[in-house]
């Protein structure tokens, strides 16, 4: 059953592979579940069950015009976990998926999840707020949104180049670009506005499960100082793991290390 219908009638795609302890993956903006290909390969060989969800508007999920808030994404994740009868999962969210995971844990009272893995998360706050002057200026984010409105292909190419600290093949960045182009334009714009504007600090207070935060020290998209370090301080049972040779795209910058860390934590 690759598509699961949310309560508003939108079909959300989920790929469910393997058996064993479940790890549920939530992708980043503007990608889809296939960004975790090399995590699936490793974890499946290690005996885990891997569930990759395409958030609505992305990948193989339905792409309606409408709501792309963290509430909407979190409710879709709940629909998938309920339909697949997933329990005792490790919920692994990358970038925007980390923001979705943060909201899910609060909004759905940590249902069906007993461990949380946040990978370069767009959480809890990305841009400046009156009581959070450390955040990025909106002018750092708005060109991505404007690019999605005017030349999404060029914006996705530029964003793919921003992701990594280590050298990646041209074919890898082309593949990342292709994943971004599978999204709808409206979802790309609306969900970027979501992660730009969100303040998930109240949600962080509700997280009680063991949590690992995996973050590249060279991350220019969600800088570790305003995300990973803040989350480690705010979540009562959290540990920040610094990836010294990674930017935002730590799943490709340090693939072997993140795979081993996830297997150790989720096992």
Q: What is the pLDDT of residues 6-36, one digit of tens each?
A: 999 999 999 999 999 999 999 999 999 999 9
Q: Which of 16, 33, 54, 95 is catalytic?
A: 95
Q: Which strand ranges, in their side-by-side order, compose the sheet holding 3-5?
A: 3-5, 11-17, 49-54, 22-26, 89-94, 113-119, 211-216, 238-243
- Among 27, 215, 248, 253, the one annotated catalytic: 248
In this predicted structure, the answer to whether residue 131 has a pLDDT above a threshold of 80 is yes
Give me the chain's average pLDDT, please. Answer: 97
- Is 219 a catalytic site residue? yes
**Which band of pLDDT confidence, cut at 50, 70 and 90, is reported for residue 1?**
low
* pTM of the predicted model as reported, rounded to 2 decimal places: 0.97
CA 43 to chain centroid: 18
Element (H, E) at 216: strand 211-216
pLDDT confidence tier of residue 146, bands split at 50, 70 and 90 = very high
Does the active-site annotation cover 109? Answer: no
Instruction: Establish whether 139 is a catalytic residue.
Output: no
Distance of CA 208 to the CA centre of its chain: 19
> Average pLDDT, stretch 228-236?
97
- Tens-place pLDDT, residues 64-106: 999 999 999 999 999 999 999 999 999 999 999 999 999 999 9
DSSP state of 1: -
Instruction: For the chain, give the percent of residues with pLDDT over 70.
Output: 100
Catalytic, out of 16, 54, 219, 253 = 219
């Amino acid at each position: 059953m690759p598509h699961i219908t949310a309560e508003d009638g939108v079909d959300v795609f989920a790929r469910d592979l393997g058996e064993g302890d479940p790890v549920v993956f939530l992708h980043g903006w503007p990608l889809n579940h296939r960004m975790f290909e090399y995590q699936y390969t490793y974890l499946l060989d290690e005996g885990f069950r891997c569930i990759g969800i395409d958030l609505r508007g992305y990948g193989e999920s339905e792409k309606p015009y409408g709501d792309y808030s963290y509430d909407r994404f979190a409710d879709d994740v709940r629909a998938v976990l309920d339909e697949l009868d997933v329990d005792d999962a490790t919920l692994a969210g990358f970038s925007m998926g980390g923001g979705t995971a943060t909201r899910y844990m609060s909004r759905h009272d940590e249902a069906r999840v007993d461990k949380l893995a946040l990978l370069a998360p767009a959480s809890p706050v990305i841009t400046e707020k009156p009581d959070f002057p450390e955040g990025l200026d909106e002018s750092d984010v708005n060109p991505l949104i404007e690019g999605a409105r005017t030349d999404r292909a060029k914006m996705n190419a530029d964003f793919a180049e921003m992701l990594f600290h280590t050298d990646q093949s041209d074919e890898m960045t082309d593949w990342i670009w292709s994943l971004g182009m599978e999204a709808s334009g409206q979802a790309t714009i609306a969900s970027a506005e979501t992660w730009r504007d969100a303040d998930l600090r109240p949600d962080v207070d509700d997280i009680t499960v063991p949590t690992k935060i995996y973050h590249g020290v060279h991350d220019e998209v969600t800088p570790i100082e305003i995300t990973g370090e803040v989350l480690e301080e705010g979540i009562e049972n959290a540990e920040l793991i610094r990836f010294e040779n990674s930017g935002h795209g730590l799943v490709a910058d340090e693939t072997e290390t993140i795979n081993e860390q996830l297997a150790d934590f989720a096992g």
